Every structure is written in structure tokens, then in C-alpha cells.
Structure 1
Amino acid sequence: MKKALIVWGGWDGHQPEQVAALFQQQLEEEGFQVNVQSSLEAFADAEYLKSLDLIVPVWTMGEIDQKLVDNVSLAVQSGVGLAGCHGGMCDSFRKNVDWQFMTGGQWVAHPGNDGVQYTVEINNSSSYLVDGISNFEVSTEQYYMHVDPAVEVLATTRFPIVDGPHVLNKAVDMPVAWTKRWGVGRVYYNSLGHQANIMEINEVKEMMRRGFLWCAEGKALAQSGEAAAGAYTGMQDNQL
């Protein structure tokens, strides 16, 4: 049985407890043993983290001890998956660039705030993770992100839609969902999820389900050696 850790907290406006409960249900339906914690001290036991298949952070706008980030990073480098959404993963710890490097991006703005109507455009040629999912409309925050150019983009949204100081720039297709690698671990992110109701949209729920499974499957591949060729070998150094 695969094992997952969900850690929720931070800013209450993102309904972290409710989102964590949805993710717990989703993972348990897929046969995971799920441990749900509401303290960042859940990241304190480095060996426990390495025993997991998947880590799911649901924590917005907090501060974190560097040692805890190092523990998560080393676990992911060893093959443990890391998957999350919205500010719960890519606006978790604004002061910690190591976390941002690992996750692949950082929120910087949501022009128009909540309730912006926009299209999520699926990059159907990018990955089987989005096979069969069509473009869809949402009314929620539209995340403008600073994104690692190494990520594989699965879906985008077009800016600008609402007015602001960014509108005189050329139109940009901002990543909404992506994957990347960290060591031999797999990382998945989806910028949707301002509140729990967004995570219950069929397309969003399916995208997260596939992301969770893809990330968790990476550990077995890493242990078998299939993912290790050319991988970073400094995992024991506690350095990023």
C-alpha cells in the first residue's frame, strides 16, 4: 500500500483543512494509506519522509525552518513524489527560495482577485496526464506566476484578462499545471484551488488525481534504477 502525507495550515482563506480532506478522500479511494497533519513539524523526521510515496503540502503564506525544507527536499530527491495546488504549494513560504526551486514556481499576483472568468487551456500533446481532458472555463483567481523554465507545462491560461499595470505587455500564456523532476522524485503542481469548491470541478479533480498517482509511482521507478540515470548524486549533502 502506498503511503501519503498531507500537511495543511497557513492562511485560512484558502480553506486548507477542507482541501486537505478532499485530497485525503481522493487518495484513500486510490488505495493510499494517508497521514494528515496540521503542523510543519510533520516534516521533522527525515527518515519517515523518505519512507513515503507522496507528500502533499496544503500550506499558504507561512514561514518554515530551513531544516524542514531540507528534509522534504531530500525525500523528493530520493524518489518520493511531491504534489499540490494553488497557494498551498507555490505560495507556501515566500522567504524560502529552496522551496520555490523544488516546486517549480512562485505566485506573484492574481489580477482581478477572485471571480475572474477564464479558460484553462490543456496542452494535450504534453503528457498522458492530460489525455482526454478538454479546455474548460473557471471563475476563480487567475494565478500569475514566476515559473521555472525547466517545467513541463500541461495547461495554460491567457493573460491579460482584467486591467492592471501588466496589460501593455504582450499577451502571455501562463502555466496552470506542470511537472518537473527533483533528484529522481516527481513534482506536480496545479495553480487552481483558491477554495475547496474549485478542487471539486471534474476536470480539476481528475488533473489532481492523475498528478498524485504519477508522483507516487515515481518512487518505485527510482528504486528500480529506471529513473536514476544521470540523476543528481549529492542527495546526502543536505544542499540544494
Structure 2
Amino acid sequence: NEGFDVELSDTLAAFEDGDKLAGLNLIVPIWTMGSIEPQQERPVLDAVAIHGVGLAGCHGGMCDAFRSATEWQFMTGGQWVAHPGNDGVRYRVNICQGNPHPITAGIGDFDVVSEQYYLHTDPGNNVLATCDFPTAGADGPHTANACKMPQVWTKMYGAGRVFYNALGHNRAVLEAAEPRELMRRGFLWAAKGVGLD
């Protein structure tokens, strides 16, 4: 746990205590395809933007959490749109070597078998890793629009650091060496740079 005291909650009511959130180092949302009420969203936005609390997460737990909450998406830097081929797609995650960062230092490109996320992303994100989209053999109307799809990024939201990793459809993906280290470092970086800067 890298020396952190960790508190878990299975309800969005935990977001309603703005004073408590403002005193945290890091918020890690794990909530998919839900809705968030203004009295739940505003304290998180303020904790990050005003009080410098870090926000870090992965996959749909952070960037497919609240599809109708555009300010949440502005804070996180992206929103899931599709994963053509569903689970079981083999693709390579390419570390952006021209963009050195403590989160990716010493980590090389690696392959995963999982859902390959297509995301609408903030052009202001600091992209640390991408993948070629779509993968060879993908089928559908998107195949003519090849691109480098951001997979890992950081950004600032006011005073707060934000880290996101698109990987994480299942536990096995995040337990592989490279994704696990990216998550560890990303969480530390978002928590006000603890142990990385």
C-alpha cells in the first residue's frame, strides 16, 4: 500500500463529504456506467481542482463512470466510446519514448490481450502510452480511421494531478508486470508526486 491509509466505499455517498475529500492525497474511482448527482460530483471536482487532491484510475472505472457528467469527463481527460472485438483482442501498448516521465521511465512497449478501448480524449492530456487502433483484423465502420489511441495519460485539473490507464478490464491484465508498475507509479504521481518527483 506504499504507506497510505486506504478507505474503501461501495457508495457514491462517500463523495458528498467535501471536507473529508479535501484532506485526502488521492481519490481512486471504480464505478462503471452509473450516474452521479450534483451533490456527489461537486465535492470531487473541488477536492481535485481547488485542494490539489490527486485522481487516478483505470479502464471503465474512471473513464466510463458517468456518461452524462461532462465535467467529470473534463476532469478525467476522456470518455470510453467503444471496444471493437470486445474482450480478447491482442494489441501492443507503445510507451511514448519522446515524452519522458517518471511514470514510464524504464518501461518498454508490451502486449496485452484484453478490451482495446476507443476513447474520446482531451487534446490537452499528456499522453504517455498509445496503441494502434484498430488492431489488424478488426471489423466495423471504424476501421478506415486508423489512429494512435491514447492508453495512459496525465493531466492537471486545477491544482490536482490526474492519472488514467485504459487497461484493466480484468485483474489479470493489471497483474502483468508493466501495467502493474504503471498503475503503482501513476497512483504515486497523482498523490502529489509522492515517491516520484
Does the 8 Å contact 2:93/2:109 carry over to 1? Answer: yes
Q: Aligned to 2:175, which of 191, 197, 200?
A: 200
Deviation per CA, 1:126-173: give whole Å up to 9, x if none.
21210110100000000000000000000000012111101122x200
Corresponding residue for 2:110? 136
Does the 8 Å contact 2:102/2:185 carry over to 1? Answer: no
d(CA) in 2 for partners of 1:198 and 1:90? 17
Q: Aligned to 1:187, which of 150, 162, 169?
A: 162
Does the 8 Å contact 1:59/1:92 carry over to 2? Answer: yes
Deviation per CA, 1:195-222: give whole Å up to 9, x if none.
1111111100100000010011259xxx
Stretch of structure 1 that moved more, 85-94 or 63-72: 63-72
Superposed counterparts of 1:66-215, under 5 Å: 66-77=38-49, 78-126=51-99, 127-161=101-135, 162-169=138-145, 171-215=146-190
Amino acid at match of 1:47: D
Stretch of structure 1 that moved more, 123-132 or 63-72: 123-132
d(CA) in 1 for partners of 2:140 and 2:9? 39
Runs of 4+ in 1 over 4 A off after TM superposition: none
TM-score, normalised on structure 2?
Answer: 0.94
Superposed counterparts of 1:25-44, under 5 Å: 28=1, 30-44=2-16
Q: Percent identity?
A: 56
Does the 8 Å contact 1:185/1:218 carry over to 2? Answer: no
Does the 8 Å contact 2:115/2:169 carry over to 1? Answer: yes
Q: How much has 1:125 moved relative to structure 2?
A: 2.8
More helix by share: 1
d(CA) in 1 for partners of 2:26 and 2:91? 31
Amino acid at match of 2:52: G
TM-score, normalised on structure 1?
Answer: 0.78
d(CA) in 1 for partners of 2:124 and 2:192? 21
Unmatched runs of 5 consecutive residues or more in structure 1: 1-27, 220-240
Unmatched runs of 5 consecutive residues or more in structure 2: none
Q: How much has 1:41 moved relative to structure 2?
A: 0.5
d(CA) in 2 for partners of 1:139 and 1:218? 30
d(CA) in 1 for partners of 2:163 and 2:54? 8
